[in-house]
Amino acid sequence: MDLTILQCNLNGRSAAHSLLPQIAAETDANVLVISQQYRNLSEPSWIASSSNTAAVSVQGVNAARIIDSGAEKDYAWVRVGSVTIVSVYLSPNNSAREYEDKLEALEDVVRNLTGYVIGAGDFNARVIEWGMPTTNRRGRLILQMVARLELEVINHGNVTTYRRPGFGNSIPDITLATDRMLTRLRGWRVIENNTASDHQYIVFNLTNDATSRQRQSMRTTRWDIGRINRDEIRRQLRNVAIPSADLSQGRADQAAAEWSANDLEKYLQRICEAAMPRKRYRQDRRQTY
């Protein structure tokens, strides 16, 4: 079962709602993961949260493959084959306590889902790991949840998804997936289509062909240390904040340790990327018999 998933935030706009079918067709998307929809469609394959801020829609023949579905206030989910796709929207207007409670409720639901899980939506949090310059408290809570649920953040690069003049740019839209299914995810990217929303959309593919991705994942990232720029190393060390572990309030547990180690790895990788080029891998040679 191959799926193309379009992750989008319509920001409640009629024009964005009208453009959505066109963008779905241009990207060959057959699953829509939606935040802040303009309105819900009266279709059996359109599953919406009770607050009408998150929805999942399975398109075309794949609608017949829906095995199960569900929804609560801040999320909606459908199960297609062995994969459950969860759409999430957490408002920036939530208090710190409300945000933590909602994230805990989401974690309880995801933990009880069977099979593989893809979680996508607007979490309104900041984390260095998905391209932001700093990590805030909401971001730390998400990373701790991700570690406990054995998920991975799929976002890569630092292309912003929220762009509103006068309000700055950021990356509130993230994609999470069960770590055991990473070899099946391909082509995650932020697209530059006109969306009529203040968010740019995300597209990625879910495929059954894991062979080439498996081989790629076995390769360790290596940099050409012979071409290191020492001045850039010093500049990065001066200007890039060193991540620190969140061990306050009794959080010195495995999840916090894993988050801290992950954050440190990203910090070092960012410095290496800035200060030296990566080594290039040669194409695999064919065996000669």
Q: What are the pLDDT tens digits along the chain (289 aa)?
A: 689 999 999 999 999 999 999 999 999 999 999 999 999 998 889 999 999 999 999 998 888 889 999 999 999 999 998 899 999 999 999 999 999 999 999 999 999 998 899 999 999 999 998 889 999 999 999 999 999 999 999 998 889 999 987 777 899 999 999 988 998 999 999 999 999 999 999 999 999 754 444 444 444 556 777 788 888 888 888 876 676 654 444 444 444 555 566 667 777 877 888 888 876 544 444 443 3
CATH architecture of 3-215: 4-Layer Sandwich (3.60)
| Every domain of the chain and the residues it spans | 3-215, 221-275
Q: Of the candidates 64, 52, 60, 55, which has an alpha carbon nearest to the alpha carbon of residue 32?
A: 55
- Residue 99 to residues 94, 168, 195, 260: CA-CA distances in angstroms? 6, 22, 28, 21
- The 10s digit of each residue's pLDDT in 120-174 is 999 999 999 888 999 999 999 999 999 999 999 999 888 999 998 777 789 999 9
- The 10s digit of each residue's pLDDT in 91-117 is 999 999 999 999 999 999 999 998 899
Assessment of whether the complete model's pTM goes beyond 0.75: no
